[in-house]
């Protein structure tokens, strides 16, 4: 069974950073790209970026360049997204999702809620 | 960026009815369109890709159609478990973009 297990919900202070993990199981990690998606009430679903673990290549939505940094650890089948200089606009649920590279996301993590508040 | 305009924003229908959700792209996306279902409190799940291909395990009452800039998702014989929000997503070009969603309720 394909599973993407994300880290837990986070409450963080404005200006801080947060790192969310996404541990993959049930498939060959390097055969798929990992996508990250933001869901917020005001903005709906937004694609943040993609990492291809096999070749450690990333691509970002211009809107999230400088905000999100994607990495992957092939030894533990885990993808990470770090969000920096957090503001209230970053409060949202963040999902990881796997895809073959076409952008069709056929398995999703359970989501990690990030709340930015002092 | 390709804009995806989805309608209606909400929909109420009776059990057993057929419902249709529309998605319009701001330019031709050459069938590079997926539909996702998101049940309350859950993550999105893939229903349809390539505009009309049913993802593995998805009931056959779901179907997708369209071409060019106009696409639709049809749900036949509405069931109670179909209560969810539905999103379209284009993957013809980056950045990937989503429709704003349709919330489906049972009347």
Q: Which of A19, A64, A104 is nearest to B56 (CA)?
A: A104
- The confidence score (pLDDT) of residue A102 equals 86
- The confidence score (pLDDT) of residue A41 equals 81
3-class secondary-structure state, position A83:
strand
Is A101 near chain B, with CB under 8 Å?
Answer: no
3-class secondary-structure state, position A88:
helix
Question: B52-79, pLDDT tens digit by residue?
Answer: 999 999 999 999 999 999 999 999 999 9
Q: Give the mean pLDDT of A35-50.
A: 93
Contact B43 A108 (CB under 8 A): yes
Q: Rounded to an integer, what distance in angstroms lies between the CA atom of residue B101 and that of residue A45?
A: 9
Q: What are the two backbone dihedrals, phi and then psi, of residue B98, each rounded to the nearest 5 degrees?
A: -115, 155
Q: Give the mean pLDDT of B90-97.
A: 98
- Contact assessment for residue A95 and residue A50, using Cβ atoms and an 8 Å cutoff: no
Alpha-carbon Rg of chain B, whole angstroms? Answer: 13
Is B46 near chain A, with CB under 8 Å?
Answer: yes
Q: Which of A44, A59, A111 to mutate to test the interface with B (most CBs of B within 10 A)?
A: A44
Question: A88-104, pLDDT tens digit by residue?
Answer: 999 999 999 999 878 99
Is B32 near chain A, with CB under 8 Å?
Answer: yes
Check whether B24 has a pLDDT greater than 90: yes
Q: Rounded to an integer, what distance in angstroms lies between the CA atom of residue B101 and that of residue B41?
A: 15
Is B65 near chain A, with CB under 8 Å?
Answer: no
Check whether A43 has a pLDDT greater than 90: no
Contacts of A109 in chain B (CB under 8 A): 43
- Contact assessment for residue A42 and residue A61, using Cβ atoms and an 8 Å cutoff: no
Considering only residues 7 to 26 of chain A, which have any Cβ-Cβ distance to chain B shorter than 8 Å?
Answer: none
């Amino acid at each position: 069974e394909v599973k993407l297990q994300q880290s837990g919900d986070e409450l963080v202070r404005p200006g801080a950073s947060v790192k969310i993990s996404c541990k993959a199981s049930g498939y060959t990690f390097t055969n798929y790209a990992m996508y990250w998606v933001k869901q917020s009430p005001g903005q709906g679903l937004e694609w943040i970026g993609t990492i291809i673990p096999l070749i450690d290549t990333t691509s970002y939505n211009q809107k999230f360049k400088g905000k999100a940094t994607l990495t992957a650890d092939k030894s533990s089948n885990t993808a990470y997204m770090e969000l920096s200089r957090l503001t209230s606009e970053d409060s949202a649920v963040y999902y990881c999702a796997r895809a073959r590279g076409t952008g069709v996301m056929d398995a999703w993590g359970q989501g990690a809620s990030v709340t930015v508040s002092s | 960026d390709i804009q995806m305009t989805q309608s209606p924003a909400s929909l109420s229908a009776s059990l057993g009815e057929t419902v249709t959700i529309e998605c319009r792209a701001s330019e031709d996306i050459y069938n590079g369109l997926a539909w996702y279902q998101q049940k309350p409190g859950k993550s999105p799940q893939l229903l349809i890709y390539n505009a009309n291909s049913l993802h593995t395990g998805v009931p056959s009452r779901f179907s997708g159609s369209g071409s060019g800039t106009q696409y639709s998702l049809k749900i036949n014989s509405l069931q109670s478990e179909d209560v969810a929000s539905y999103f379209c997503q284009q993957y013809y070009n980056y950045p990937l973009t989503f429709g704003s969603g349709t919330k489906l309720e049972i009347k």
